[in-house]
Amino acid sequence: MQLLSSNFSPYSTRVRILIAKQQHQVEITAPDFALRSPEFLAKYPLGKIPVLKLSDSEYLSESWAIMQYLDALSEQSLSPSAPLANARMHEWLRYVDQHLAPSLLPLFGQLLGGPAIDVDAQMQKVRVELDKGERLLSSNNRELKPLDLADIATAAVMYFVVATPAQFGEMNILKDFPKLSAWWQRVLQDPEIETGVSEMRQAFEGFLKK
Ligand SMILES: N[C@@H](CCC(=O)N[C@@H](CS)C(=O)NCC(=O)O)C(=O)O
């Protein structure tokens, strides 16, 4: 199998972290065509990375689907088997992908040279979503539990949730969210997460230098 991936991409990074942790035999490679090119869009219907190439003609898209597929192949599953804990993992992932990550996009787009935005208002929107996460953690204490797939998936997004506001002068957006801060400090101690985050950091810093 091959993973079409970029170190700049949090969605690719979460899959690379899992590959490293569970030691899957997957070759990590750059996309074969430029993102958004007609060739890429023609070949991969969802038009985004990561893509897991299963064979010359079969591809799996969407980072969470790829992670679940790889996890199901592994003898060291990182998905809780208890029904409620498993549902909590999916609940958390959906919070991250559908609430938290979208709130960051306008600020991130600004760094990429997008249209001018009200930075303070957008920063406040990120804080509103972080507050939801803080309250979710209060009800399920994820920050105290063994690492699962959603922690890995979140770590890659959280790097940008912290690093993007810092570019606008907010040096610690997690400071008012003690449970999220505790969760972030804990997952950064995981060696494969640390490697994935430092790959993203290097890619992000390289981009900013340009
Ligand atoms: N929901 C997708 C999101 C993937 C995604 O947004 N990938 C970005 C890179 S981080 C991408 O391929 N962007 C290219 C584009 O939007 O044209 C997943 O979880 O895999």
Tokens of 69: 């597929």
How much distance in Å is there from the Cα of 139 to the middle of ligand 1? 30
Contact 127, 138 (CB under 8 A): no
Share of the chain above pLDDT 90, in %: 94
Q: Which residues contact 142 (CB under 8 A, 6 or more apart)?
A: 88, 92, 136, 150, 151, 183
Q: How confident is the model at residue 2 (pLDDT cuts 50, 70, 90)?
A: very high
Cβ-based neighbour number of residue 112 at 10 Å: 8
CA 129 to ligand 1 center in whole angstroms: 20
Of 39, 73, 107, which closes a domain? 73
- Contact between 7 and 13 under an 8 Å Cβ cutoff? The reply is yes
Taking the centre of ligand 1 as the mean of its atom positions, its distance from the CA of residue 103, in whole angstroms, is 15
Predicted pLDDT at 45: 93
* Residue 91 and residue 191 in one domain: yes
**106 and 155 both lie in a single domain:** yes
- Residue-wise pLDDT for 26-80, tens only, equals 999 999 999 999 999 999 999 999 999 999 899 999 999 999 999 999 999 999 9
Q: What is the mean pLDDT of residues 101-117?
A: 94
The last residue of one of the domains, among 55, 73, 91, is: 73
58 and 116, same domain (yes or no): no
Band of residue 210 on the pLDDT scale cut at 50, 70, 90: confident
Higher pLDDT, 140 or 7: 7
Hey, whose CA ends up nearest to atom 17 of ligand 1? 36
Q: pLDDT grade, residue 167 (50/70/90)?
A: very high
Q: What is the pLDDT of residue 83?
A: 97
Helix, strand, coil % over all residues of the chain, rounded to 5:
60, 5, 30
CATH code for the domain of 186: 1.20.1050.10
Ligand 1: list residues with CB < 6 Å: 9-11, 35-36, 47-50, 62-64
Alpha helices in 25-118 (DSSP H): 38-43, 63-73, 83-95, 101-111
Domain that holds residue 42: 2-73
CA 82 – ligand 1 centroid, Å: 31
Please answer whether residues 105 and 161 qualify as being in contact, where contact means their C-beta atoms are separated by less than 8 angstroms: no
Beta bridge mates, 29: 4
Atom 13 of ligand 1, residue of closest alpha carbon: 48
| Side-chain-facing half-sphere of 165: CA atoms under 13 Å | 23
Residue 177: which region, alpha, beta or left (left: phi > 0; alpha: psi -120 to 50)? beta
With respect to residue 170, please indicate whether it lies within any of the assigned structural domains: yes
